Amino acid sequence: MPSEEAEAHDFIRDIINEDLRTNKYGGRVHTRFPPEPNGYLHIGHAKSICLNFGIAEDYKGKCNLRFDDTNPAKEEEEYVRSIIEDVRWLGFDWEDRLFFASDYFDQMYDYAVELVKRGKAYVDDSTADEISRTRGTLTSPGQKSPYRDRSIEENLDVFTRMRAGEFGDGEKVLRAKIDMSHPNMNMRDPIVYRILHASHHNTGEKWCIYPMYDWAHGLEDSIENITHSICTLEFENHRPLYDWFLDQIEVYHPQQIEFARLNITYTVMSKRMLKQLVDEGHVNGWDDPRLPTISGMRRRGYSPAAIRNFCKRIGVAKVNSMVDFEFLEYCIREDLNKTAPRFMGVLQPLKVVIENYPDDKVEEMEAVNNPEDPSAGTRKVPFSRELCIEEEDFMEEPPKKFYRLAPGREVRFRYAYFVKCKEAIKQNGKVVELRCTVDPDTRGGNAPDGRKVKSTLHWVSARHAMDAEVRLYDKLFTEKDPAGHKDADFKDFINPNSLEVLTSCKIEPAVKNLKPLDRIQFERLGYFCVDPDSNSEKLIFNRTVGLRDTWAKIQKQQQQKTT
């Protein structure tokens, strides 16, 4: 199980401690979070954000927000806007250090010219196909391009003309001149610049050549004076190239450090796949509460503090692994338990008539807003002759362990009275109304004669209740690792029942003061969040997470397995 200590002792902080000890960067710690604006951020990014901004906070250093927008075709303003919103919502501050990689295009080009001048890069006229065919394999060396030995003068001339727009897409590339038989395939004369006549969201039509990721990324880090360039494991075998580029042009050289990506069960964690789910209408937009996107989690009712705490507790590792979705829910529940005000709401109402309660009487019952937080105070909940309870809290013929309401049985109505069921009224075989009585001596929930009841139910006053729609979410996939099957598409595992919409819910009137995205608990039901689609006519709640601790159950099972 991930522990709080894992975070304090992670290997990245160990590296930083050592660098501080040896004064490698003059005592500076400067990280960055570098999203590519080609989709909305997901909880994997949250891990990276918490790590980079968290390190900056811990060491009183700095962390930049940098858009890695070197690829013109895929980037959109909408993504830039959403990423800014999400990082800020998570609680982090880049101060005045919001950067765009595309702002460095001139500088990157100048550095490429420098690389050519040093005889370390050449223009290759080979086709993409030829280049990939001559790269060799893991077990066989690649072949040198026939253009590899062009003179520096010729390379400079052709590269300048590439930039000027003389050639079409794919006609030429600039390649680093490293080693075509290098055991690391990334070092076999990788492409530095490609021709792409495409408009860019920031630089418009200014460029028709664009830098490749490996070339651009280290330069971005260098230009921004980053000390520790933290990225995910798949870049481990790109590190030699990161180092090679910076060494060749002899510029300031940050340290790249790789850590394991976050994966969570029953979901997918790639912008490409998430985009597919959105574009093909499997979900309702990037902020669909079923998605692991930060905007989806916000709409579902996850709090920034809970997400940060989750990221802290899963720790930072060098080996890829999968975190149980239930552990995320555990962290969410733990936070909401402390912070969410309680209300009563009935999802599937069953009418209850209190026969011995006058029709014109209304009592204001005092209810506790949050038993975990006395400062949250109390509120009044109206009680009257006609109430609603949860359909499933009544059974005409209760089986053995069903302690809730049944004919002849007495239970407690929370914050109110003991209520006894006299009779169930049916229509077409279905129970549509319960006739009940209260014991007036039990107001507040205890009987003076000391008699006990076995359950306490939530309820609302029918006349005072507000109508609401409640959206219940389940896992979006039926498979633990939907993207991990070679012979199946991840979409084959979409859960057809991941969304259930209840449209005739009844909620106590105090919810009228709630604002969009407020996080609450409906007693006995779970945690919920006010959906931004709500308006004064129609309240909509999203269920964030149930009350039951499914994580504890999983842990118990795991413990049983190992003992």
Decide if residue 142 touches ligand ATP (CB under 6 A).
no
Instruction: Let me know if 261 is a catalytic residue.
Output: yes
Number of H helices, E strands in the chain: 14, 27
Q: Judged by CB under 6 A, which stretch of 3-11, 32-40, 287-295, 431-439 contacts ligand ATP? A: 32-40
Say how far apart CA 355 and CA 204 lie, in whole Å.
Answer: 74
Decide if residue 135 touches ligand ATP (CB under 6 A).
no
Give the interface with Mg ion as residue ranges (CB under 5 A): 36
Tokens of 401: 């362990």
- Which of ligand ATP, Mg ion, none does residue 275 bind (CB under 5 to 8 Å by kind)? none
> For the chain, how are helix, strand and coil distributed in percent, rounded to 5?
35, 25, 40
Which one of 32, 172, 239, 271 is the catalytic residue?
A: 271
Q: Judged by CB under 6 A, which stretch of 28-36, 109-117, 188-196, 342-350 contacts ligand ATP? A: 28-36
Contacts of 280 (CB under 8 A, 6+ apart): 491
DSSP 484-549: G-TTS-GGGGB-TTSEEEEEEEEE-GGGGG--TT-EEEETTTEEEEE-TT--SS-EEEEEEE-SS-
- Which of Mg ion, ligand ATP, none does residue 269 bind (CB under 5 to 8 Å by kind)? ligand ATP
Judge whether 90 and 49 are in contact, CB under 8 Å. Answer: yes
Q: Give the residue with the Cβ less far from Mg ion, 36 or 386.
A: 36
- Which of ligand ATP, Mg ion, none does residue 380 bind (CB under 5 to 8 Å by kind)? none
Which one of 36, 236, 433, 469 is the catalytic residue?
A: 36
Per-residue x/- marks for ligand ATP, 253-292, CB under 6 A?
A: --------xx------xxx---------------------
Residue nearest to Mg ion as judged by C-beta position: 36
* Residue 301: other Cβ atoms inside 10 A: 26
Say how far apart CA 557 and CA 563 lie, in whole Å.
Answer: 10
Q: Judged by CB under 6 A, which stretch of 45-53, 135-143, 288-296, 421-429 contacts ligand ATP? A: 45-53
Closest CA to 511 of 402, 399, 367: 367
Instruction: Let me know if 538 is a catalytic residue.
Output: no
Q: At its nearest, how many Å lie between Mg ion and the CB of residue 308?
A: 23
Q: Give the residue with the Cβ less far from ligand ATP, 294 or 457.
A: 294
Among residues 47, 172, 298, 458, which is the contact residue for ligand ATP, using CB under 6 A?
A: 47
Which one of 148, 261, 275, 435 is the catalytic residue?
A: 261
Decide if residue 45 touches ligand ATP (CB under 6 A).
yes
**CA distance to 136, 420, 435, 539, per residue, from 350 (Å):** 71, 15, 11, 20
**CA distance to 376, 416, 503, 515, per residue, from 106 (Å):** 56, 72, 57, 47
Q: Site for ligand ATP (CB under 6 A): how many residues? A: 14
Say how far apart CA 367 and CA 346 lie, in whole Å.
Answer: 16
Q: Give the residue with the Cβ less far from Mg ion, 71 or 248.
A: 71
Q: At its nearest, how many Å lie between ligand ATP and the CB of residue 44?
A: 2
Q: Give the residue with the Cβ less far from ligand ATP, 287 or 531.
A: 287
Q: How many residues belong to the chain?
A: 563
Closest CA to 293 of 89, 94, 482: 89
Q: Residue 327 in 3-state DSSP?
A: helix
Residue nearest to ligand ATP as judged by C-beta position: 44
Q: Give the residue with the Cβ less far from Mg ion, 237 or 356.
A: 237
Q: Give the residue with the Cβ less far from ligand ATP, 45 or 239.
A: 45
Decide if residue 54 touches ligand ATP (CB under 6 A).
no
Q: Give the residue with the Cβ less far from Mg ion, 62 or 194.
A: 194
Among residues 10, 12, 29, 34, which is the contact residue for ligand ATP, using CB under 6 A?
A: 34
- Indicate the helix (H) or strand (E) that contains 171: none
* Residue 35: other Cβ atoms inside 10 A: 23
Decide if residue 238 touches ligand ATP (CB under 6 A).
no
Decide if residue 526 touches ligand ATP (CB under 6 A).
no
Tokens of 131: 């280049």
Question: Strands, E, within 409-535: which ranges?
Answer: 410-413, 418-427, 430-439, 456-457, 460-461, 466-473, 499-507, 519-522, 526-530
Contacting residues toward ligand ATP, per CB under 6 A: 34-36, 44-45, 47-48, 231-232, 261-262, 269-271
Active site residues: 36, 261, 271
